[in-house]
Amino acid sequence: MSGLIGKKIGMTSIFDENGKNIPCTVIEAGPCIVTQVRTEEVDGYEAVQLGFDDATEKSATKADLGHAKKAGTSVKRKVVEFKGFDAEYKLGDAINVDLFNEGEFVDISGTSKGKGFQGVVKRHGFGGVGQSTHGQHNRLRAPGSIGAASYPARVFKGMKMAGRMGGEKVKVQNLKVLKVVPEKNLLVVKGCVPGHKNAYVIIEK
């Protein structure tokens, strides 16, 4: 799927023509530079590699510097491959936010915020015990029985228990593009997008 790399700026809300308040996310999408063109003959598949957000030369490896020099651009912090572009692109071409149109739907993936070690109520939506009676103490949000007895004498793999939550790749599908601002490379989409402010996201058509 064709698309762009972007940076999550933050959330806001706008009013539609009916006066309804719509929550939305503002993303800085592009300009993305073509850093490599994959071909069937050389690589065995066709794709376009895009780079976004300039990095300092000090933080780059020699391999990254050479790769960027070949494309005639600076070293990029985020590099992602996309397939299915309608137009053909060459090394060093810039792809901007006008790739998207207002009213169309996009899929956006990113890394969700890390929430640390969480219990079963927050992590898996357990209901807890529900009622505190019979002198019960500190059991309201406990996981309860985990189902093992003398048979099978073990806990099944994948059991929903407390543990590290967040910090995973998440894709949110079918987000409506409310606004495209080409002069500032901004994309405004309906709803929320995974990640913290200034986190990189991948926007696919």
Q: Which domain holds residue 84?
A: 3-119+168-204
Residues comprising the chain, all counted: 205
Number of domains in the chain: 2
Asked if residue 63 lies in contact with residue 79, where contact means CB atoms within 8 angstroms, the answer is: no
Listing DSSP states for 56-124 in one string gives: -GGGS-HHHHHHHHHHTS--EEEEEEE---SS---TT-EE-GGGS-TT-EEEEEEEPPP-EEE-HHHHH
The predicted pLDDT at position 205 comes to 87
Judge if 83 and 173 occupy the same domain.
yes
Judge if 157 and 193 occupy the same domain.
no
What are the φ/ψ torsions at residue 46 (nearest 5 degrees)?
A: -110, 130
Question: How does pLDDT run along the chain (205 residues), one tens digit per residue?
Answer: 789 999 999 999 999 889 999 999 999 997 999 999 999 999 999 999 999 988 888 888 999 899 899 888 899 999 999 998 888 888 888 899 988 999 999 999 999 999 999 999 999 999 887 777 777 788 888 898 888 889 999 999 999 999 999 999 999 999 999 999 999 999 999 999 999 999 999 999 8
The predicted pLDDT at position 144 comes to 86
Q: What is the pTM of this model?
A: 0.85
Judge if 160 and 184 occupy the same domain.
no
The predicted pLDDT at position 85 comes to 85
Q: Which residues contact 134 (CB under 8 A, 6 or more apart)?
A: none
**DSSP classification of residue 168:** S
The predicted pLDDT at position 137 comes to 80
Judge if 174 and 161 occupy the same domain.
no
The predicted pLDDT at position 102 comes to 92
Judge if 9 and 110 occupy the same domain.
yes
What is the per-residue burial (b if ≥16 Cβ within 10 Å, else e) of 112-146? beeeeeebbeebeebeeeeeeeeeeeeeeeeeeee
Judge if 186 and 158 occupy the same domain.
no
The predicted pLDDT at position 145 comes to 87
